[in-house]
Amino acid sequence: MASYKAPTRDMDFVLNEIINVGSLTEIEKFADATADIVAGVLDEAAKQIDNTIGVLNESGDAEGAQLNNGEVTVPTGFKEAYKAYAESGWIGLDKDVEFDGQGLPYALATAVTDMLSGANAAFSLYPGLSNGAYEALRAHGSQEQKEKYMSHLSQGDWSGTMCLTEPGAGSDLGQVRTKAEPQDDGSYLIEGNKIFITAGEHDMTDNILHLVLARTPGAPEGIRGISMFIAPKFLINEDGSLGERNAVECASIEEKMGIHGSCTCVLNFNGAKAHLVGELNKGIQNMFVMMNSARLMVGLQGLGVAERATQNAITYAKERKQGRPLTRKAESSFDSDTIIVHPDVRRMLLNMKALTEGCRMMAYDTAKHVDLSEHHPDEAVRASSKARVDLMTPVCKAFTTDAGVEVTSMGIQVYGGHGFITENGMEQNMRDSKIFCLYEGTNGIQAMDLIGRKLSMANGQLPRDFFAEVKAELASASDEVAFIAEPLSVALADLEEVTNWLVESKAANPNDSAASAVDYLQAFGLVSLGYYWLRAAKVSAAKDGVFYQGKLATARFFATKLLPKVHGLVPVILAGGDCVMEPAEELIV
């Protein structure tokens, strides 16, 4: 059976020694986010998550969510664990104090989400979607809506969903056909079907708030005619108490490859009463607040499951005896040794560590920029941090979740045949991890967003600013970290070259850039991790102890074995799209 223990030492390292989360206390809103508070949050969250939620991971996968007569019950233990998690304040950790949150930084809440995802990815989806609903209402809800709903979302006694996808409208939301008919009292009645709705129905909270994309009569075609509405599972009386059940029905639960403990629903809206959120026909813009929040969350899910796989693979490699070291192969009397002595096993373990720990640095730093973009008193800092978040969101989502699949696959490989056996718990990691590459916009869509929007925003300033930051870090690198600074400098030059080519080719032949988008995002992600591993190497080179020596060893592995992959991606990117688009459809059989 696989296990999980929150990696609080590594989280502390990233929060305090890499991104300097303590600097956020200079912002009035985060004045209470002291070092003691940060340490306390990591310690207490780890205890609760490891002991009450992590232990339900495999049983939740085996049992799954169940649908009976339109009612969904979650796996045994989930309801009680969720109640304890919510009552302990973890859902409201970074929510506004005025809406019963604790007002702590999003960067700190990111670490808790990382833990939760590693302990039990399916469970993490229930509070995760509520976070997105909270952010959407915070940005676009009326004051009345904020006061009506947001405290409940902070406290976790109500949960939220995002209802976008329909049978004929996946990523192309311009095809949404769900209707919203206006009523004399200012409300709307929603008619339509939504699919793939995470946590669309369950028995863990008193109410569920569905944020729904729909069209009003006479709305423009395409995405310009979509509006956002809020439709609660139970209608809410004037005094705030819950009234009758709304006309929202769970028609079925999807049978999925993984995350069985999360109920993924087909919802029928049969004249469900709802209210407009924000302006008419601005639903896509409003929903992007929720989607961007969800994309960062999904990246953390990939990170968490990768951490789980890495921990178990390392433990297994240090215990499993098989074969002899190549350097002592001739010693006939030499007993079998643990498999961690074998070069290929070492390669996999260091690969897993380099990707997982590198993605953690990237994710937490992006989260800190979210805090700065929303709360720093200097408008220029807010703007530059917002640009950084815009640039890195598709990278954090796509690169980290791709890494999650790669790492969980290597975890199985370390176990050999035992990794393929259910009782050892490693195959669940891989089954769970694949969905992270698919929902909230597939990773191909994230790559298209990166090259199609983010490289061109503000006349290309977003990548230029990031490249300048990497160069500044390189300029202050000492000889002690030349082992990563030198290859990173070369990889950065390659990335700048292909970035310029992509921007130019997009105008001349969009298929060239589109065919290279995924490869470009991989190159961008590798250089980004190189930047963070350089920062980690600088810190670790000045410290003593096994932990820091381990960081230096992993940084050296990344610089030597993973970062050079950028050079192989360059000709792939520059090859454009001819070999992809020229073959006639009938040749692809």
Buried/exposed code over 209-221 (b: 16+ C-beta within 10 A; e: otherwise): bbbbbbbbeebee
CB atoms within 10 A of CB 500: 13
Residue with tokens 């991989």: 522
Cβ pair 478, 552 in contact under 8 A:
no
User: Tokens representing 245?
Assistant: 């059940």
Catalytic residue among 98, 254, 440, 582: 440
Please give the single-letter amino acid code of residue 214.
Answer: A
SS3 387: helix
One-letter amino acid of 414: V
**Residue 176 near residue 166 (C-beta atoms within 8 A):** yes
Is the distance from CB of 231 to CB of 271 less than 8 angstroms?
no
Residues 6+ apart with CB under 8 A from 386: 369, 373
DSSP state of 509: -
User: CB under 8 Å to 315, separation ≥6 — which residues?
Assistant: none
Q: Per 3-state DSSP, what percentage of the chain is helix, strand, and coil (rounded to 5)?
A: 65, 10, 25
Instruction: Judge whether 288 and 213 are in contact, CB under 8 Å.
Output: no
Residues 6+ positions from 413 with CB-CB distance below 8 Å: 348, 419
10 Å Cβ neighbour count for 586?
6
d(CA 251, CA 289): 28
> Which one-letter DSSP state was computed for residue 457?
G
The answer to whether residue 497 is catalytic is: no
DSSP state string for 124-175: HHHHHHHHHHHHHHHHH--HHHHHHHHHHHHHTSEEEEEE--BTTBSS-GGG
Residue pair 2/308 in contact (Cβ under 8 Å)? The answer is: yes
Active site members = 440
